[in-house]
Amino acid sequence: MRFMIIMFPKEYVTAKPGWVPDFKSMEKMGKYNDELGKAGVLLALDGLTPPATMSARVTFKNGKSIVTDGPFPETKEVIGGFWIIEVKSREEALEWASRIPGKDDEMVSKSAGYFTQPTSIPRPKRKSKRGSATTSRGS
């Protein structure tokens, strides 16, 4: 089963343009990401910049798109990054989410598993724990 885990760092809400996380936080997150990779459950991940840095919204009305540049002061929750993992169960996804090195009062959301449907796009091969290439679980 595939799950998306989303990080909502509190400090992103008030971050000024050009802000970056402190080195210790980035180092801890890097170790966590390495653990996901070594366990063979990581499919994708990325960190995002705070909304004060290059943010914009695209909204749609009457078939047309409207672009509004940020920052957006009314923002209360900001996505700071995400992971997509493939594990055997919801419980395993929650166990991985609980190991994220978050700071006090930060929140992580584990979204429901992805819908699984037939696709003509081949899934990437990855190494199993034994070192041989395998296709992703569930394909």
Percent of the chain with pLDDT over 90: 30
Q: How far apart are CA 68 and CA 52, in angstroms?
A: 13
- Assessment of whether the complete model's pTM goes beyond 0.75: no
**How does pLDDT run across 3-37, given as a tens digit for each residue?**
999 888 888 777 888 888 889 988 999 999 999 99
Position with higher pLDDT, 76 vs 58: 58
Question: In whole angstroms, what separates CA 68 from the centre of its chain?
Answer: 24
Confidence (pLDDT) at 110: 64
Position with higher pLDDT, 101 vs 32: 32
The two tokens of residue 116 are 């699984």
Confidence (pLDDT) at 12: 79
Q: Which residues, 6+ apart, have CB-to-CB distance to 89 below 8 Å?
A: 1
Domain covering 2-115+127-135, topology: Alpha-Beta Plaits (3.30.70)
Confidence (pLDDT) at 49: 83
pLDDT at 133 over 80: no
Q: Which residues, 6+ apart, have CB-to-CB distance to 110 below 8 Å?
A: 3, 4, 5, 6, 90, 93, 94, 97
Confidence (pLDDT) at 139: 41
- Pure H helices in 6-137: 10-14, 23-39, 90-98
Q: DSSP character for 137?
A: T
Helix (H, G, I), strand (E, B) or coil at 97: helix
* Mean pLDDT estimate for the chain: 79
Cβ neighbourhood burial of 13 (10 Å; 0-12, 13-18, 19+)? middle
pLDDT band at 114, cuts 50/70/90?
A: low
Helix (H, G, I), strand (E, B) or coil at 115: coil
pLDDT at 135 over 50: no
The ranges assigned to domains in the chain are 2-115+127-135
